[in-house]
Structure 1
Amino acid sequence: MLPTTDTETSSPEEDCLQTPSSAATIIASNDDLLTEIIVCTPVNSLIRFKSVSKHWFSLISASHFSLLHTMRRPNRRPSGLFLRKAPSIPSSFAKTEYEFVSLSNSNFSGAPFRSLNFADAPSGIQISQSCNGLLLCCTLRKETRNYYIYNPTTKQYSTLPVPHSGAKSSTVFGVNLAFDPLKSIHYKVICVRSTAPSVYCIDEYSSETRSWRSCGDPFTTSHDRVLTDGVFWNSSVHWISPSGASLRFDIDHECLGTMPMIPAVSGDRGPRRDTYFGQANGHLHLIETYGNLTTQFDVFEMERDYSKWFVKYSVDLVGILNAFPEMEQRGCIHYYAYCILSLVREDHEDESSLLVHVPGGKVLSYKFKDNTFKELHNSAPENFYQCLPLQFRSYYAYTYIESLASV
């Protein structure tokens, strides 16, 4: 006969009842396990999760968590678009305000901001560029201009040191943000300045070292070269030139290169004019219209090896014109009032679209595949200065991508 003991044994039913509590305790005390569970959730959910506890806040705010989340859920699709509004009173001291256009099909909480007031800047702050979830912002007054990196998702910002503090009599021509979250948690800022007529040099700021340094050799270029509003793509910053070959600066190899010119188009449509230049979901695009004298134009894409531009899409907005006849403007010059705000490349090519602004404060999504369109946004003009046919411009349109990136 086996000896008896006083030890009590639990039934399988009791074990099952204890399991959820035990599992929750194990998960809560194991950062690796907790990370594996929540790292696959969307950014907007993670922002809410930060308020669960100090432990969760610290875990989600860590730079390695941000990098892991980016790798698990790579997100290059914009959730919305910030459009700079014309001021109610045309003045250099007017507050810069933005209209927000949501591009999300899910329950989106709304625009992260209408105006920027995260730092003490009496002259006001405006967006200069957007790049993969981060915004490069600056104060309005050029004489004492400060630059900031701002994450509108996390509300964090960092003030950049003056890029040319050690250089006298130099002029800043362009400041450009370079950030690829799939390669690094750190961003860089490229500053182009001149020390003599037509002589330029490049300074680079790294968020890893928190300092500026000279980068590459000084170079000369034509007086009409445009070195502002560079576009970051393929580890390089690109500038489109109105004449001759366009420039690019390879950040990894710290050297300048050129890009081929847009090929000639058959037919007489009038002089071409740069309308949109930007990157979308890993693709570099350029759109040239013909002074808006026609509703037809091509969307060019650059080969990744910079061998050529090729026509990716051919567009005709005649369907939009039929629905919105106010696009047609007759006067001293007959033209069509529309503006290309952005291009959205989807993972499923059939869903890729063009965002077009037409009179009346309307923003439309035009689908390349079947030439269909739908209205995304409608903001009626509020004052006299906004009663012009078009309220927004492509160079004042900034994509918003939800991101946990640290600044």
Structure 2
Amino acid sequence: MPVQGAGDQTEHLMDRGKKENQFITNKNSKIYMDLKDIIREHVLSFLPAKSLSRFRAVCRDWKLQISTPFFAHNQSNGFHEISGFFCQSGSNPPSFISLDPAAYGVPDPSLKFLPEPVDIRTSSNGLLCCQGLRGLNAYYICNPVTKQWKMLPKPNASHGSDPALVLIFEPSVLNFVADYKLICAFPSVDFDNGYEFEIYSSREGVWKVFGEIYFGNKKLLPRSGVHVNGIIYWQATDGGIVVFDLVMERTQLLYGDYDSYNGYRSGTLGMMNGKLCLTKVHQPGLVVLVLSNAYKNTMQMRSNVKTWEQKHQICLSSSVLSGAASNDPNGRNVLFAGGNIILVRSGGKLYSYDMKTKAVQCLLDELDQGARAVAYVNSLVEI
């Protein structure tokens, strides 16, 4: 005997199944929408500027998101990877060499948006410091992505024809406006064999000469300056390192036990993992030393404490280093060493070595002998 209402129950169950499937589909759609929101709100800001310029075309929401000043602020805090290098020979216009042309780039590598031809002096986290080649040799701070720039006021002191400059820009979530400093070590006109130090602060908008003077009969290499944790290090022509503490406003000469590392008196200074490093070509590859004790000078004689410790021994193929001499007195073969990237000149070729991936990449087949390279981060930072 058929049960009364069975058909109704079956129909009810079928309808229920349809509703449940519909609910699941709607739920998945909601998850998908949430994922798009997550990418837009929390992922995009960790991408380089060139990639973001392409992503503006994805949809209207992404274009509006990427175009806001608040997004530019977040991106400058979230993206810090070395993206490439500005190269320049003599007074020729600069060019840009990207580590990944699909991801990193600038719209005007020759910096024609600036009011005069310039020499790129130094960089920091997306900002470049350039010096004009005409008239007053003014300093400019610029972002080559946004083409924003600012001319700094004239310094109080004469910095000479080839100033030893260091630009410091450390992005902070709390500082919506870029707060940067430019420090110059210059030969003193009042004291023989002395160096004085002048600083420009974007927050104060003025130059200030420090009271500290370094006496040591040293000549600094102008483009060797590195900033690490509030301290600036410049290499001297004879292999020493002049140190200036920005907080204590004190200088010292850093002696190193270079001889115990097979004569590593020369090399290129940089920062890796928050520490000062010294990188040098040493066949069959590269050697990276890390500063382990800056106070060796004050310790007793015959102390076993070392100023430098070998951190990495990198082997490279003979074809890469065929044109790089390990006895280069000024470390000119290593043009840059910082973050995860080492830039090496070998003959007329330019190679990059990635410390993370161990990958070697030939960036340029013909490089002028006197070419200079300045590292760059593809940032949207606003000046």
TM over 0.5, shorter chain = yes
- Say whether 1:83 aligns with 2:82: no
> Is it true that 1:192 corresponds to 2:169 in the alignment?
no
The answer to whether the aligner puts 1:277 opposite 2:273 as a matched pair is no
Matched, 1:44 2:39: no
> What is the deviation of 1:145?
0.3
Contact 1:357 1:392 in 2 (8 A): no
Structure 1 residue 248: deviation in Å? 2.5
TM-fit CA distance, 1:295:
5.0
Deviations 1:43-86 (A, max 9, x none): 43444567888996698453x54444445x3x332111222246
User: Is 1:396 the equivalent of 2:372?
Assistant: yes
Paired residue secondary structure (1:320): coil
Matching residue's letter, 1:299:
V
Note closer, same or farther for the CA distance 1:236–1:95 as it changes in structure 2 (3 Å cut).
same
Aligned with residue 249 of structure 1, among 200, 224, 244: 244
1:312 maps to what in 2?
311
Please say if 1:219 is aligned against 2:213.
Answer: yes
- In the TM superposition, what whole-angstrom CA distance separates every residue of 1:7-47 from its partner, at most 9, and x where no partner exists? xxxx9989x99xx99xx9xx99xxxx985675455543444
Please provide the CA RMSD for this pair: 4.6
1:245 deviation in Å?
Answer: 5.5
State percent identity of aligned pairs.
25
* Aligned residue number for residue 349 of structure 2: 362
Structure 1 pair 190–378 and aligned structure 2 pair: CA distance change class (3 A): closer
- What are the Cα deviations for residues 116-156 of structure 1, in whole angstroms up to 9, with x where unaligned? 212221xx212111212211111124x62011111122222
SS at match of 2:259: coil
Q: How does 1:100-139 map to 2 (within 5 A)?
A: 100=97, 102-104=98-100, 107-108=102-103, 110=105, 112-121=107-116, 124-139=117-132
1:206 and 1:219 mapped to 2: Cα distance?
Answer: 20
Alignment-derived partner of residue 10 in structure 2: none
The equivalent of 1:174 in structure 2 is 164
Match of 1:153 in 2: 145
Distance 1:244 1:196, change over 3 A: farther
Task: Give the letter aligned to residue 216 of structure 2.
Answer: S
Give how far 1:221 is off.
Answer: 1.6
Unaligned runs of 5+ in 1: 1-10, 87-93, 347-352, 381-389
**Alignment partner, residue 299 of structure 1:** 288
Alignment of 1:229-248 (within 5 A): 229=223, 230-243=225-238, 246-248=241-243
For the residue of structure 1 that corresponds to 2:266, the secondary structure is strand
Structure exhibiting the larger radius of gyration computed from Cα positions: 2
Check the 8 A contact 1:47/1:154 in 2, yes or no: no
**Would the alpha carbon gap of residues 35 and 324 (structure 1) be closer, same or farther in structure 2, given more than 3 Å must change?**
closer
3-state DSSP of counterpart to 2:258: coil
Alpha carbons of structure 1 residues 284 and 37: separation in structure 2 relative to 1, 3 Å = closer
Deviation of residue 226 (structure 1)? 1.0
Alignment partners' CA distance in 2, 1:368 and 1:39: 24
The TM-score normalised by the length of structure 1 is 0.66
Structure 1 residues 143-152 or 184-193, which shifts more? 184-193
Q: Distance in 2 between matches of 1:289 and 1:36?
A: 40
SS of structure 2 residue aligned to 1:196: coil
Alignment gaps of 5+ in structure 2 = 1-18, 297-306
Query: Would you say the 8 A contact 1:274–1:289 is kept in 2?
Result: no
Task: Please give the alpha-carbon distance, in whole angstroms, between the structure 1 residues aligned to 2:185 and 2:328.
Answer: 39
Summarize deviations over 1:380-406 as a string: whole Å, max 9, x none.
4xxxxxxxxx6255x811112111222
Residue among 374, 377, 381 paired with 2:360: 374
